[in-house]
Amino acid sequence: VTIVGVIWFGGHQVGDGDVEVGTLVAFMSYLMQILMGIVMASFMTIMIPRAAVCAERISEVLATAPAIVSAPGAVTAFPVPGRVEMRDVTFVYEGADARVLAEVSFTVVPGSTTAIVGSTASGKSTVVRLLARLLEASSGQVLVGGVDVREADPEALWAQLGLVPQQPFLFAGTVASNLRLGREEATDDELWKALEVAQAKDFVSAMDGGLEATIAQGGTNVSGGQRQRLAIARALVRRPSILIFDDSFSALDVSTDARLREAMGPATAGITKIVVAQRVSTITGADQILVLDDGHLVGSGTHESLLATCPVYREIVTSQLGAKATA
């Protein structure tokens, strides 16, 4: 509107010979600079309050002290690699009334396979987070490798574990760079071997570049099942003493799941495996099955023994595999 007004009135003055064309053009240039300054000043009055609020929130995050820290003289050596134990562990979220876990006790022998099953919100994933010390037990003891996790150095503890979460995350880069997050010095042959065990070799070979194929942030350029298999391969590359799968096979079809479990047996010999699963067919061959119900450990044993002694497990099996599976 300002420019139109200047041209309107200035045009008449140029026509009357009172103002030269160059003067009118110069006046318009100066006016544009003034208007841009006003626009920027208006923009800043909007952005400065927003920036102040953002800076305050960032400062709060940076000033937050970690809830889980390394204790003085933290243990870095684990005398019994692969052994996992919970002793009367109870966990309650801060501010909550109900207990997520109530006096849960179990032992996982090194090199064995232990499965954890239960209904939704029974506490399965909480057990996994307690083992990795992503959460602190309200009472009781959590031992990994024969050491109480509260006495262990967090970095040393995490070096013992290979965790595949329920919703795996891939980072921007390549297939190889994501797999080598497990172990930086891993060779290409080791990466391909892990991909083969995780049933990911075929689709990675078909990708443009193979191991050097591009992975978008969060793995958005691959499917959910492919993302899970790459996360499993990443954990296998790490070669930890304990592998934890937090419902990591849910996005796989039954045939792929079966092939993966068959290939994983020889590839993970000697490694302790803890599998949180929804599908009973995934864990029937486990050395030990733990049944959780509303935060309580209501059953422990093999598939056959639990069918005979644990009503909760029998109900889960019946709902998934039918009445014939419990006969």
pTM over 0.85: no
- Our measurement of the distance from residue 229's CA atom to the centroid of its chain's CA atoms, rounded to an integer in Å, reads 14
Q: CA 90, CA 70: separation in Å to the nearest integer?
A: 22
Contacts of 273 (CB under 8 A, 6+ apart): 112, 113, 114, 242, 243, 244, 245, 264
Residues 174-182, mean pLDDT to the nearest whole number: 91
Examine the pLDDT at 55 and tell me if it is beyond 90: yes
Query: Pairing mode, if any, of strands 288-293 and 296-301?
Result: antiparallel
Confidence of residue 249 (pLDDT cuts 50, 70, 90): confident
Q: What is the pLDDT of residue 87?
A: 92
Q: What is the pLDDT of residue 327?
A: 56
Examine the pLDDT at 325 and tell me if it is beyond 70: no
Examine the pLDDT at 321 and tell me if it is beyond 80: no
Q: pLDDT of 204-234, one tens digit each?
A: 999 988 999 999 998 888 888 889 999 999 9
Residue 73 backbone phi and psi in degrees, to 5: 65, 35
For residue 119, the 8-state DSSP code is S
Cα dihedral: 30, 33, 39, 44 (round 10): -130
3-class secondary-structure state, position 189: helix
**Hey, what domains does the chain have and what are their CATH numbers?**
2-63 (no CATH), 84-326 (3.40.50.300)
Higher pLDDT among residues 19 and 39, named by residue = 39
Residues 239-260, mean pLDDT to the nearest whole number: 84
Residues 295-319, mean pLDDT to the nearest whole number: 89
